[in-house]
Amino acid sequence: MTIEHLLVIAYLAGCIGIGVLASRKVLVSQDEYWVAGRRIGTFVNAMAIMAALASGGSIIGVMGLGYGRGIPYTLALFAGAVVGFPLASILVAKPLRNFGKFTITDFLSFRYPNPIVRYVVPSIIVVSFTVYIVAQMKAAGITANLLLGIPYNTAVTLAAIVFILYVSIGGMVAITWTDVIQGILMLSIVVGTAFVLVSRLGPPSSIIREATTVAPALGEVMRQPLGSYLGSFLIWMTAISVIPHIVMRVYTSKNAQEARFSLNLAMIFYSAMILCAVFIIVPVGKIHFPSLQDADTIFLRVMASEFSPFIRGLAVAAVIAAVMSTTDALLLACSSAISHDLLGNLIERKLSQKTGKWITVAVAWGVGLLALSMAYSPPKLITEFYSAAIGVLSAGLFVPTIAGLWWKKANVAGGTASLLAGTLVYAVVQFTPGTPPMSAILLALPASALAMWIFSKLGPPNPPEVMDQIQKLHL
Amino acid sequence: MTRSDFWFLIAIIIFAGISFLPWSRRIIISGMALFGWMMAALMVISPLFVLLRLFLEQRKKTKEKKI
């Protein structure tokens, strides 16, 4: 057993230990399990938000995307996510934190009380996040395969079991504690790697110049249709306001002001990590490995060729951390979508709280195992794969959420029509042959907004008590 | 929504809009299209700007409480 194996085993054992410790607290109440008792401080929450967003996609995938599709395309996608945070902090953080429930479905089904909304929203979340989890599992699998020598399928299976185990027992408290450790670990590894490479090879501008001399396409824009650039930017810019595992983090804050601080502080950490990866590690990878078959392996190749076994062990732990910190949040969001949003009434009325908790655990296992079975045949570029899945959330939920908070005339008919129009248009365009990657959102968002406007005009006005409550959310 | 929040959103949209115009794709700086540099700038400027505003807002509130 090598030093890399020992580091990873110690790290995973630590995460499970935290899950077990946290489980003693979270079985007490739903508030503890889903939103960690709403008392997470600004820095801790910021690091947890960063870790939740910085998935395997952000370490493995961002570099794979940069390597395969060029740096500008990658930056368009990730700049969308970064801009999405200030946007979310202005548009949704305060009112949703003041709303004080658990999930985005809670808000939408309160604002648009219609069974379609109650059932379609969690269904979209589960489908989208299951795809997202598959991408994370691929990242864990190829990392363990390339740096530890474990066969891909075995690595994916082991990783999946550990993730599901500690999410299902620990809830949001376990996730927050481990996310902070994972956030610090992945930030240190990526920024540290970039720093070492710069000290060896010179400033980033000369590394980029050398890499673009070897491969000019790395710095060019027109490798993809313009719709793909704009689409990937828009998907992530709008997704952050509605993406359930980030919205749940807003609910964990002590108050609305701290929620806003956390969101923006998280983005400073996140931007530092992405820019180090894209401006330094990707160009170095392109210089050393100009024609890789699987672009997603670029970070691992650089680590294997440039660093000692101890650093490689830390890198494996960092990637597993990135995968884990997102997968756990996604699994928790999927669990909440099914056991809280879909089965919530049944659990509250007919089952004890403890039985409800066990249903949640079973759901986490169900979703995790489904994603695992899909991860045995992995996608090519993971970031593009899961971003397309996130697009359906943006298409379906962004307009109803923002209009629900900020437009008084948005009513049940408008909200329901907007949700369905955005989702259906996105699905149809996405699967139409010849559509440029990521561009379906360019039609889906306007369709959703148009449906909101037309049907809100046609439908009956909102009851005054609902509007009073919405008004209070902004105070 | 406060007026400064509103103008911040407008500024972000305008900056992003300008970044996607054709000229930013043609200009190459240090081997990379200006579009890429503008996206990178957006990633740094937007959260920093909001954080700065939040700090100033909080300082103002604290001063008002003291008075």
Please give the torsion angle defined by the CA atoms of residues A130, A132, A137 and A138, in that order, rounded to the nearest 10 degrees. 130
Record: contact A221-B9, CB cut-off 8 A: no
CB A439 within 8 A of CB A230: yes
The whole-number pLDDT of residue A21 equals 66
CB A451 within 8 A of CB A421: yes
- The pLDDT tens digits along chain A (475 residues) read 677 777 777 777 776 676 666 655 544 555 555 445 555 567 777 777 777 777 666 678 888 888 888 899 889 888 888 888 778 877 887 777 777 665 778 888 888 988 888 888 888 888 888 888 888 888 888 888 877 788 888 888 887 887 777 666 655 556 666 677 777 888 888 898 899 889 988 888 888 888 888 888 888 886 678 888 899 899 989 988 887 666 666 666 666 677 777 778 888 888 888 999 999 999 998 888 888 888 888 888 888 888 888 888 777 777 777 777 677 777 777 777 777 667 766 555 666 666 766 777 777 788 888 888 888 877 777 777 788 888 999 999 999 999 988 898 889 999 999 999 999 999 999 888 888 888 899 999 999 999 999 999 998 888 888 788 877 777 7
- Look at residue A292 and give its three-state secondary structure: coil
Interface test with A, best of B46, B48, B55 (most A CBs within 10 A): B46
The whole-number pLDDT of residue A394 equals 92
ipTM for the predicted complex comes to 0.87
Q: What φ, ψ does residue A311 adopt, rounded to 5°?
A: -65, -40
Residue B11 pLDDT > 70, yes or no?
yes
Taking the alpha carbons at both ends of chain B, their separation in whole angstroms is: 26
CA distances (Å), A120 to each of A123, A420, A441, in order? 5, 8, 19
| CB-based contact, A66 to chain B, within 8 Å | no
CB A369 within 8 A of CB A419: no
- H/E stretch holding A61: none
CB A86 within 8 A of CB B16: no
- H/E stretch holding B33: strand B32-33
Alpha-carbon distance of A34 to A8, in angstroms, equals 28
DSSP A462: P
CB A332 within 8 A of CB A245: yes
Angle between helices B34-66 and A256-276 (to 10 degrees): 150
17-46 in B: which are within 8 Å (CB) of A?
Answer: 20, 25, 28, 30-33, 35-36, 39-40, 42-44, 46
Alpha-carbon distance of B37 to B8, in angstroms, equals 20
Cβ–Cβ contacts within 10 Å for residue A114, how many? 15
HSE-CB for A400 with a 13 A CA cutoff? 37
Between A109 and B62, name the one with better pLDDT.
Answer: A109
| Nearest in space to A248 (alpha carbons), one of A102, A133, A122 | A102
**What is the amino acid identity at position A436?**
P
Interface test with A, best of B13, B15, B21, B43 (most A CBs within 10 A): B43
Task: Name the closest residue on chain B to residue A261, using Cα atoms.
Answer: B51
| CB-based contact, A151 to chain B, within 8 Å | no
Record: contact B47-A78, CB cut-off 8 A: no
Alpha-carbon distance of A212 to A203, in angstroms, equals 15
Record: contact A71-B36, CB cut-off 8 A: yes
Alpha-carbon distance of A320 to A332, in angstroms, equals 18
Q: What φ, ψ does residue A343 adopt, rounded to 5°?
A: -105, 10
Record: contact A261-B8, CB cut-off 8 A: no
CB B43 within 8 A of CB A75: yes
Closest approach of A446 to chain B, Cα-based (Å)? 16
| CB-based contact, A377 to chain B, within 8 Å | no
Q: Is A3-383 in CATH node 2.60.120.10? A: no
Give chain B's radius of gyration (CA, Å): 17
The whole-number pLDDT of residue A282 equals 92
- According to DSSP, the residues that pair with B32 across neighbouring strands are B29
- Look at residue A301 and give its three-state secondary structure: helix
| CB-based contact, B15 to chain A, within 8 Å | no
Both structure tokens of A266 = 């998280």
Sketch the domain layout of chain A as residue ranges.
3-383
